[in-house]
A and B are shown apart, each in its own frame.
Chain A
């Protein structure tokens, strides 16, 4: 019980905050509940199938395959593949974190993981179509053109700034999580 409360402490505090909003303004509180219901639905659409597929990926795809395509020696091929997989994905960025963790566990190169995260966050193809439709091709394509080199550069800057030990810890953490 104590462990459970500790685990859900943040959640309970957030719920309490919404309770306070509700007391201050019932209208805003109800609106918050409505948005929560929307977010919950979105998560329900995304997370269960993603986690099931990750479980399957974990048991069926051998480590060697991941290392070959996205691991240390994968070079340009690994970078391109990371961008393509990230861009083909649908859903908000938090859906990318568990996927990245499985890739990491299976031996993908750390810079490729970061490139994958960057691609998922901002060069998604389904979203791009929508961006072109609502904001125009000049806007969307300028963003895309600067984003692709941007995410690769950010990935390498991050690796430069992260101590090796910390990266090792993050990789070990991915073993525990899945």
Chain B
């Protein structure tokens, strides 16, 4: 769905740009290719690692880890699992809902969803390429710690 929107917007903008100025459009496409090509090795690496990781660490394994844990230990495990996993939201939210029904707590799911979206250990090579090691590491560490705050707030309000 978002792919269709993205592609149609890109094509429409490209056509408008081409009609207005051919040379500029050529430069734009050259730049697009150059920046895509420069990030390609990292992207491909991430793709393969995600495949290997998720094949080993599947939904059942995650739910077993988070199903029946003591409160904070479960939150820590959930936060770690979310940091490593890359699961698109349309899979992750129903999965979290399922885990809740199977006995996982709201706090654990809060931590899981939060690190899943904010922390990306596997995508770090891509992030480092743009932002350097230091900022990438700091951002992910902060996002990880922040997720415990989110977990606590959700435990307070929902759990």
Genuine A/B complex: yes
Chain A residues close to B by CB (< 8 Å) = 7-8, 10-11, 14-15, 17-18, 21, 28-29, 31-36, 39-40, 42-43, 45-56, 58-60, 90-94, 97-98, 100-101, 114, 117-118, 121-122, 124, 126-127, 130-131, 133-136, 138-139, 142-143, 145-147, 150, 154, 157-158, 161-162, 166, 169-170, 173-174, 177-178
Least CB distance from A40 to B in Å reads 6
- A32 proximity list for chain B (CB < 8 A): 51-52, 54-56
CB of B146 within 8 A of CB of A135, answer: no
The residue of chain A having its C-beta at the shortest distance from the C-beta of B16 within the complex is A56
Per-position binary interface string of chain B over residues 119-158, scored 1 when its CB falls under 8 Å from any chain A CB and 0 otherwise: 0100101110111101100110011001001100110011
Query: Count of A-B contacts with CB under 8 A?
Result: 236
How long is the Cα–Cα vector from A85 to B59 in the complex, in angstroms? 32
- A51 proximity list for chain B (CB < 8 A): 32-33, 35-36
Per-position binary interface string of chain B over residues 78-114, scored 1 when its CB falls under 8 Å from any chain A CB and 0 otherwise: 0000000010111001101100100000100110011
8 Å CB contact of A158 from B29, B54, B114, B139: B139
16 A-B contact pairs sorted by A residue (CB < 8 Å): A11-B44, A18-B48, A35-B55, A47-B43, A49-B7, A50-B10, A54-B35, A55-B29, A98-B130, A100-B130, A117-B139, A130-B90, A135-B100, A146-B153, A150-B150, A161-B138
8 Å CB contact of B123 from A56, A93, A118: A93
- CB-CB contacts below 8 Å: B1-23 with A: 2-3, 5-7, 9-11, 13-14, 17
